[in-house]
Amino acid sequence: MPTASRPKLCLDSNVFLAVMLPETTKPSQDDIRGADRLLRSLHKGEVTAITSVMALAEVRWVFDREQKPGFDIARATLENGFAGHLSILQVDTDLAVASAIYRRRYYSKSNPFSYNDGIFLATAVLGGATALVTTDPHLLGVSEVPAYRPGGLPAELRSPRP
């Protein structure tokens, strides 16, 4: 299937964690099912996706924090398990600067938008994503790119376009 006909999504680390370690991040059952469907579609090449290299850091941190085995398998899956349908973008200078701009735009005492939130948003924007998929409430309210929960992803973003 040509890449141009597939949606290009930016996946926050919590999408992967909703499937790998759902008990640790406490997503809703709807988001767990949605993340599972999305990752299956990604594996089949029905969608393409990007994520930040910071997803590996966040996934590693959760495995370590929860003292769970299996990070090496999770890492191998993220790096190689999606047969060229998932690109892991590095944090370069442009992305780092954009993430700081987004943090400044969204951070407040009532919205603790983190540097990592800024990195995922910058990854979506600079990476040309159709949408950002996340369970993070700080990212669900951004205006630069449509943001959806895994359980609320519109059907047209979960499958090939006609």
Tokens of 93: 């200078």
Would you say 133 and 12 are in contact if contact means Cβ atoms under 8 Å apart? Answer: yes
Model confidence at 18, pLDDT cuts 50, 70, 90, reads: very high
Residue 159 lies inside a defined structural domain of this protein: no
pLDDT of 159 strictly over 80? no
Any idea what DSSP says for residue 83?
Answer: T
Provide the pLDDT for residue 7: 82
Q: Which long-range contacts (CB under 8 A, 24 or more apart) does 88-94 make?
A: 88/50, 88/51, 88/52, 88/53, 88/55, 88/56, 89/50, 89/51, 89/52, 89/53, 89/123, 89/126, 89/127, 90/53, 91/52, 91/53, 91/54, 91/119, 94/126
Model confidence at 155, pLDDT cuts 50, 70, 90, reads: confident
Nearest-angstrom CA–CA distance, 131 and 143: 11
Residue 101 lies inside a defined structural domain of this protein: no
Span 15-21, average pLDDT: 97
Q: Which residue has the higher pLDDT, 155 or 123?
A: 123
Provide the pLDDT for residue 99: 98
Q: How many domains does the chain have?
A: 1
Residue 158 lies inside a defined structural domain of this protein: no
β-pair partners for 48: 8
Span 12-23, average pLDDT: 96
Tens digit of pLDDT for each residue in 22-54?
998 889 999 999 999 999 999 999 999 999 999
Enumerate residues 6+ apart whose C-beta is below 8 A from 116: 54, 58
Residue 114 lies inside a defined structural domain of this protein: no
Residue 107 lies inside a defined structural domain of this protein: no
Residue 108 lies inside a defined structural domain of this protein: no
Tens digit of pLDDT for each residue in 80-138?
999 889 999 999 999 999 999 999 999 999 999 999 999 999 999 999 999 999 999 99
Q: Quote the domain boundaries for residue 46.
A: 3-89+128-153
The domain spanning residue 16 has which CATH number?
A: 3.40.50
Please work out, in degrees rounded to the nearest 5, the angle formed at the alpha carbon of residue 88 by the alpha carbons of 86 and 91: 155
Task: Please count the residues of the chain.
Answer: 162
- Matching residue, tokens 């495995």: 63
Q: Is 145 exposed, middle or buried (0-12, 13-18, 19+ CB in 10 A)?
A: middle
pLDDT of 1 strictly over 60? no
Residue 66 lies inside a defined structural domain of this protein: yes
